[in-house]
Amino acid sequence: MGAIYSLLALLAGMGLPLQIGLNHMVAKASTALWSSAISFVVGTIAMFAVVFATKQPIPTLQNLSTVPTFAWVAGLLGAFYVTTSIIAAPKIGAAALVTLVVTGQLIASLIIDHYGFAGFPQQSINFGRIAGALLLIAGVVLIKKF
């Protein structure tokens, strides 16, 4: 079952550069902020269609009230990412943007894992993890330089 989730994660990652380019096309006809808003509206409609098509139970207010307040920031982080990618992509290119995004994700993930934040199991930072992050940062530098 882990292979299926790994494949889904890989496919989701492969979709990011395409999403960035398509959002930029919408931004050319409007603005980066409108493009981001439109992207979220389309995504929201699609997700509601999937939720209703798969007959997902509607969460109760009582259940939602148990979510820590800081967890609701997730939507803001998504909006920040999409808007930033629309603005930055034409300036630095898709490869540099995605490698910087992945590097940022890796650095944050190492810190989150180290402290076991946001419900993740605690996994200490070690030499191998730091070396992997440094290799990814070296990749960003090489992609940006060449």
* Percent of the chain at pLDDT exceeding 70: 99
Burial (CB count within 10 angstroms: exposed 0-12, middle 13-18, buried 19+), residue 12? exposed
Its pTM stands at 0.81
Dump pLDDT digits (tens) for 60-99. 999 999 999 999 999 999 999 999 999 999 998 888 888 8
> In the predicted model, what is the mean pLDDT of residues 23-27?
94
Summarised one tens digit per residue, pLDDT across range 34-45 is: 999 999 999 999
| Domain hosting residue 120, numbered range | 2-145
Task: Mark out the alpha helices in 54-126 (DSSP H runs).
Answer: 61-64, 74-92, 94-115
Domain tally, the chain: 1
Instruction: Calculate ∠ Cα 58-63-69, nearest 5°.
Output: 115
The answer for 122, left when phi > 0, alpha when psi is -120 to 50, beta otherwise, is beta
